[in-house]
């Protein structure tokens, strides 16, 4: 077995969705990538093959490798490795002092949240091998790009919390929330932290979530078109006011939704 390093230098920062493009090759029939223990089938694209890899917020900057298996006609296959450099990215940290009753959960709520986390993690693991989408991603509330707090860290009473894993889009209760891209609804429900929530699988390891809704207008199993109405914004769950928490996972990693294809580098880095 030969191992090649492709002349393909990928780079990304913690919280970024990284585009992988492999150029067309004669007789190449399938490409499988393995990144952070996740297996991804590349999708055929105009001039070759395409996939997205998520770099999680907790990935330590440095050099990484992505294993790739190229399958050709006649059962021929080659193993290759792609170099992926994870560059550092600083996210803001806010220190807050609050009364303990605002940050401590009752045992009943802790139990509820733990059970719900299992259901949500099962939904995250439900991704179709092939992408449902062929077009770029859009903002779920058209025109709103404010509320860019992905990756922000809050420390309550000297106890660090998990970094914020989505973008809190400015929204009033009742604002229409639309699917960021074509995909299938894999979970809906009323959750302790998330309130009324919709989780959508876009295939090929990409999932999006829409939290704190005042109402849910879709059902599990439903296939949504890009831009299709899925719910109305609200303030359900553990929040202080109405907004849309829009989160995205790519290959199991928490990424800033604004790093998906369809948003300019200016927006992604803002
Ligand atoms: Zn949020």
Cα–ligand 1 centroid distance for 194 (angstroms): 9
**Residue 268, pLDDT score:** 60
Cα–ligand 1 centroid distance for 206 (angstroms): 19
Report phi then psi at 247, rounded to 5.
-115, 155
**Residue 223 and residue 132 in contact, taking contact as beta carbons nearer than 8 Å:** yes
- Run of H or E residues at 84: strand 76-86
Query: Which of 48-57, 137-146, 176-185 shows the lowest per-residue confidence on average (mean pLDDT)?
Result: 137-146
Which band of pLDDT confidence, cut at 50, 70 and 90, is reported for residue 2?
A: very low
Q: Which of 34-48, 101-115, 154-168, 187-201 is modeled with the greatest confidence? A: 187-201
Phi-psi region at 165: left, alpha or beta (left = phi > 0; alpha = psi -120 to 50): alpha
Which band of pLDDT confidence, cut at 50, 70 and 90, is reported for residue 7?
A: low
Closest Cα to residue 225, out of 183, 176, 177, 175?
A: 183
Distance CA 27, CA 182 (A): 30
User: What strands, in cross-sheet order, belong to the sheet with 43-45?
Assistant: 16-23, 48-55, 43-45
Cα–ligand 1 centroid distance for 144 (angstroms): 15
Cα–ligand 1 centroid distance for 74 (angstroms): 49
State pTM to two decimals. Answer: 0.93
Which band of pLDDT confidence, cut at 50, 70 and 90, is reported for residue 229?
A: very high
Cα–ligand 1 centroid distance for 155 (angstroms): 15
Share of the chain above pLDDT 90, in %: 81
Cα–ligand 1 centroid distance for 42 (angstroms): 31
Residue 267 pLDDT greater than 80, yes or no? no
**Residue 1, pLDDT score:** 42
Share of the chain above pLDDT 70, in %: 95
Cα–ligand 1 centroid distance for 32 (angstroms): 33
pLDDT in tens, 156-171: 888 888 899 999 999 9
**Residue 123, pLDDT score:** 93
Distance CA 36, CA 255 (A): 14
**Residue 184 and residue 204 in contact, taking contact as beta carbons nearer than 8 Å:** no
- The DSSP string of 11-56 is EE-TTEEEEEEEE--TTEEEEEEEETTEEEEPEEETTEEEEEEEE-
Mean pLDDT of 175-200: 98
Residue 103 pLDDT greater than 90, yes or no? no
Q: Note the Cα 269 to chain centre separation in Å.
A: 17
Distance CA 96, CA 21 (A): 43
pLDDT in tens, 104-115: 889 999 999 999
**Residue 245, pLDDT score:** 97
DSSP state of 234: B
Distance CA 129, CA 234 (A): 32
**Residue 224 and residue 218 in contact, taking contact as beta carbons nearer than 8 Å:** yes
267 or 177: which leads in pLDDT: 177
Residue 20 pLDDT greater than 90, yes or no? yes
1 or 90: which leads in pLDDT: 90
- E strands present in 106-213: 153-156, 159-160, 166-170, 176-178, 183-191, 195-203, 206-213
């Amino acid at each position: 077995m030969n191992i090649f390093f492709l002349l393909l230098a990928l780079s990304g920062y913690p919280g970024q969705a990284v585009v992988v493009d492999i150029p067309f090759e004669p007789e190449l029939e399938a490409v499988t990538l393995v990144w952070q223990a996740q297996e991804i089938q590349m999708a055929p694209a105009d001039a070759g093959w395409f996939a997205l890899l998520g770099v999680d917020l907790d990935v330590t900057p440095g050099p990484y490798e992505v294993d790739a298996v190229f399958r050709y006609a006649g059962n021929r296959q080659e193993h290759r490795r792609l170099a992926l450099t994870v560059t550092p990215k600083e996210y803001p940290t806010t220190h807050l002092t609050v009364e303990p009753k605002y940050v401590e959960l009752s045992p009943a709520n802790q139990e509820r949240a733990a059970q719900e986390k299992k259901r949500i993690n099962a939904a995250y693991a439900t991704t179709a091998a092939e992408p449902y989408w062929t077009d770029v991603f859009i903002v779920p509330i058209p025109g709103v790009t404010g509320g860019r707090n992905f990756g922000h860290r809050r420390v309550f009473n000297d106890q660090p919390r998990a970094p914020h894993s989505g973008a809190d889009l400015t929204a009033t209760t009742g604002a229409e929330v639309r699917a960021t891209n074509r995909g299938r609804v894999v979970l809906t429900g009323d959750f302790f932290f998330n309130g009324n929530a919709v989780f959508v699988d876009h295939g090929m390891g990409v999932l999006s979530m829409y939290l704190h809704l005042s109402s849910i207008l879709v059902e599990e199993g439903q296939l949504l078109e890009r831009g299709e109405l899925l719910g109305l914004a609200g303030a359900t769950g553990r929040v202080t006011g109405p907004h849309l928490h829009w989160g995205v996972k790519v290959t199991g990693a928490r990424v800033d939704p604004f790093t998906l294809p369809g948003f300019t580098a200016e927006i992604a880095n803002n």
